[in-house]
Amino acid sequence: MRRTVLIAMIAGMIVAGCNQGAQPRPQSEQARPHPPSYQQVETEHPKISASPTITTVGFLEPVDPKEAGDVVEDVGKYLSYVAFFSYRVKPNGSLIPLKDEHPLQVTKKQGAVPMLVITNFAGGNFQPDIAHRIFTDRSAQRRLIQSVIRVMKEKGYRALNVDFEHIREEDRDLYNRFLKTFLPRMKREGFVVSTALAPKSSDRQGGAWHGAHDYAVHGKLADFVILMTYEWGWTGGPPMAVAPIPQVRDVLNYAVRKIPRKKIVMGAPLYGYDWTLPYRKEGPPAKRLSPKEAAGLAKMKGARVLYSNRDQAPYYYYRDDQGKEHVVWYENEESMQAKFNLVKEYGLRGISYWVLGEEFPQNWRLLQENFHVRRP
How many CA atoms, within 13 angstroms, populate the side-chain half-sphere of residue 314? 23
Please give the DSSP secondary-structure letter assigned to residue 51: -
The answer for residues whose C-beta is within 8 angstroms of residue 321's C-beta and 6 or more apart is: none
Q: Please report which residue ranges of the chain form alpha helices under DSSP H.
A: 5-10, 65-75, 101-110, 128-136, 138-155, 172-188, 207-210, 215-221, 245-258, 291-301, 333-346, 361-370
Q: End-to-end distance of the chain based on CA atoms, in angstroms?
A: 24
Query: What DSSP letter does each residue of 198-257 carry, written as one string?
Result: ---SSTT--HHHHTT--HHHHHHHSSEEEE----SS-TTS-S--SS-HHHHHHHHHHHHH
What distance in Å separates the CA atoms of residue 19 and residue 121, rounded to the nearest whole number? Answer: 9
Write the CA distances from 247 to 233, 235, 332, 363, integer angstroms: 11, 18, 18, 21
Is 165 noted as a catalytic residue in this protein? yes
SS3 state of residue 59: strand
What distance in Å separates the CA atoms of residue 362 and residue 308, rounded to the nearest whole number? Answer: 20
Catalytic residue, chosen from 42, 154, 165, 359, is: 165
Under 8 Å between Cβ of 16 and 7:
yes
Active-site residue set: 165
